[in-house]
Amino acid sequence: MNLSLVIPVYNEQDNLPFLFEAVQKTMTEINQSWEVILVDDGSRDKTLSVLKQYAEKDPAHIRVISFRRNFGQTAAIAAGLDYAQGKIIILMDADMQNDPADIPMMLAKLDEGYDLVSGWRKERKDDALTRNLPSMLANGLISRVTGVHLHDYGCTLKVYRRDVLEGFRLYGEMHRFIPVYANSVGANITEMPVRHYPRKFGKTKYGLERTAKVILDLFTVKFLVAFASKPIYLFGGTGGLLMIASSIIMLYLLVRRIFFLSV
C-alpha cells in the first residue's frame, strides 16, 4: 500500500458525496495503490450509514471505522493512523474546506526529499475574528516555543512519511502538533499554500475556546518533546537550583545567628 488518506468525520452527511467524488477522482489520477480510512467520530446524523454505503461500493479502497460516541477530531485521527497501512499518510478534513486536488502537488513536494509537507491555508475562508486571528497568534506562539516554524499548524491537510508518525500518542487537540514530534525525530519539514473554501454544508465544531486548549496542549508537547526521555534535567535542574538557593539562605541565617545576634 502506498497512500493512506485518513479523514475524521463528525456530522458531515451532506459533504460526503462531494468528498468521495473528489477523493476518488484525485486518487485515480495519481495512479498508485491507495486506501481511504474514514473515522466516524460518533456522528448523530446519517454520516455512518452514508459512509457504509460508499464502503460497500468500493471495498478495495474505502475503510470505515466508527466510534460509539464523539471522542474528538484528534482521537479520530489517532484511530485512523492505527489502521493506516500506506507508506505515505495524508490527513485531511471531511468538510470539503480542504481540496483533495492539492494532494498531487504535495506528494511531488514530498518526493523532493521531505518527510512532511504541511498545508498552509494562505487565504483562509473562516471567520476572521473568532478563527483566523486567534489562529495566527497561536501559530506564531507555537513556532516560537517549539522552534518549528509553520504558518498553519491547524490545517489538517498534511502529507507525512509513515516513519515520522510513529512513537507517540495523540490526545487533547494534539494532532496539530505532529510536526513538532516529527521535528524531534529529525524529519525534514516544509509547507506549501493549499486551497481553502468556506463550509458549504454542516457547521464548524469549534470556536474561540479551542485556541485556549491548543495553548495548554502546547505546554504538554513542549515538555514531552524536550524532557520526556530525560525528566531529571527539568525536575533535577529545578530541584538543584532550589537547593542552592536554600543553602545560601541557611548560610546567611547561620552567619547572622553566630556573629551578629546574641539572642
What is the spatial distance between Cα 210 and Cα 157, in angstroms, rounded to a whole number?
18
93/173 with CB nearer Mg ion: 93
Within 10 A of 209 (CB to CB), how many other CB atoms are there? 8
**C-alpha span between 48 and 161 (Å, rounded):** 29
The three three-digit cell numbers of residue 178, written as one number: 505532529
Q: Which stretch binds Mg ion (CB under 5 A): 27-35, 94-102, 147-155, 223-231?
A: 94-102
What letters, b where the CB count within 10 A reaches 16 and e where it falls short, cover 79-117? bbbeebebebbbbbbbbbbbbbebbeebbebbeeebbbb
Which residues lie near ligand UDP (CB under 6 A)? Answer: 8-10, 12, 41, 70, 72-73, 76, 93-95, 97, 204-206
Please write down the long-range contacts of 259-262, taking CB distance under 8 Å and 24 or more positions apart: none
Q: How far is the CB of 97 from ligand UDP (least distance, A)?
A: 5
Answer for which of 95, 152, 173, 191 binds Mg ion (CB under 5 A) is 95
Distance of closest approach, residue 236 Cβ to ligand UDP, in angstroms: 39
**At residue 98, what is the residue type?**
N
- Taking a C-beta distance cutoff of 8 angstroms, is the pair 80, 93 a contact? no
User: Which residue lies nearer to Mg ion by CB, 140 or 198?
Assistant: 198
Complex with ligand UDP: residue 97 or 139, whichever CB lies closer:
97
User: Within 3-62, which residues bind Mg ion (CB under 5 A)?
Assistant: none
Q: Should residue 156 be labelled a site residue for Mg ion when binding is judged by CB under 5 A?
A: no
Are 39 and 7 in contact by the 8 Å Cβ rule? The answer is yes
The binder of Mg ion chosen from 11, 74, 97, 146 (CB under 5 A): 97
The sign one gets for the Cα dihedral 202, 98, 19, 180 is: negative
In angstroms, give the least distance from the CB of 145 to Mg ion: 25
Q: Candidates 11-19, 88-96, 218-226, 235-243 — which segment interacts with Mg ion by CB under 5 A?
A: 88-96
- The distance of closest approach from Cβ of residue 90 to ligand UDP in the complex, given in angstroms and rounded to an integer, is 14
Residue 72, binding choice from Mg ion, ligand UDP, none, Cβ under 5 to 8 Å by partner class: ligand UDP
Task: Please report, as ranges, the residues that interact with Mg ion according to CB under 5 A.
Answer: 93, 95, 97
